[in-house]
Structure 1
């Protein structure tokens, strides 16, 4: 009887010890879950509405400029092991952010992505389809796919022009490259609206901009043109189909044109700096539409202020003009996207 009693006591002690261990493990898991949730909620990156990506002015790393209100900006380093030699491109696809760039030591195209709005990044990797470029790419989303447009890897060699190349992917990991029978004399800009995708590109001697469109990303036709000298350019479209095109002319001055039908464009006006002078840039200005504040926003490396700082402009009062410095400095073109 005494032996059975002792056995029972030992069994109960074992059960209690096991239960205590399980309870402590559950508490540990719950504590970790709470910490992860708290860390996520504190990240300013989860509530931003605008981002631009750029090459550091004193190194070859990729940085991200972020804003939660379209007026105040912070800047952070992307820790993905990437280095680059031209300005990057970016796209917001299926809730994830993708950044693309030309390699630092070669002309291959690389990419990295973030599933938590920039808190962490995948390792930098080649596109996987042997795609390459000698300049900055451009990116957009369309019909369940991401698209990149770029010049060839030998673009900077004589004679200084290239067919338009583009790569597309429906999952962000497998890419297909195509070559279009259109010749560009500067980096193409790819963008989309509704059931069409568009590519803007520079004609011979940078005399004008041609714009082609496609409903399937395979067959392309002429959509419109702007007969103004254009060295660098970028286009964005708002949800109502109004487009804004920013471009630099041969003198580096930034010009602005609007379109209500993506075919006919307004006469260009100059983008003015905070001092009232004409804003300028030696690299591509980047434009997007801020859906929260209902306005077009431009990020660019200014040559008006004699520094490498990134400036931003918007049309909050109906006129697209410079509002001030954003955050960060670069020797190349920043790339602006909306994340709302």
Structure 2
């Protein structure tokens, strides 16, 4: 997490980094790479190792978790809802498209194709992962030590995840950076701290304009969520909560209301009723997902110590013994657990 934060501090100082034409290509390749690896290993584990399909249609069974945990296991809805956060940057993406044809027509085709392919592919990954591990499926299939072999392939997958998230972080944050800096320069036009640029010569490249306010503000911004993520390492629950909070208002409610206003859809018409039913249904999903994620975080806090990962290494050691992975990897885990 510290390494990721350092990389993001560096990338955040590059103005308009999110507008680079190659960034989307790299993100797509990295996403396809680690998803394909997870899908392939899941199929291989079912076909060659376990030779049976784990899990059930009713989900995780009572016994593996308590009845209370089973009842509040709605955070999965939040995890799914988090995938819809891409809608927040659709306008940013649309502004980069060439015309003709009109940006809206291109965007409709691109959105339909991308959402269809992504949904199909990720559903395959999740289904094969659940078939491979059943009730013991980790929240993070690749980084949560669901798989152990082959190590080199998992290293490639995790590197792809890292590279993908570095770019994704900037795509979401750069518009916020630009907004804050523009607002600060307008409110304090005579302040050298916010407006003065220092030219730094870089051999072989154009001079870099170093702005002190940009350096301080963006660095502090990256450091704060990095620290929070180190304190609260509840991946699925946090993602579920964030997904739930952003899903209904930003992805459903406001777009639906704007569409109704733009198209001047009459109140109580069939179309208006259908859109309102959709909005209410998504609101119910948001409430359920948020409640389940909060319940999961409360349960996690009861047994969690900040900046401590000893419990995770103990789990890894158990899994290593079950899969008969004795050797250097297991030895390193044992040593680390004892140090913890």
TM-score, scaled to structure 2: 0.20
Higher relative contact order (CA 8 A, sep 6+): 2
* Structure showing greater Rg: 1
Higher helix proportion, which one? Answer: 2
TM-score, scaled to structure 1: 0.20
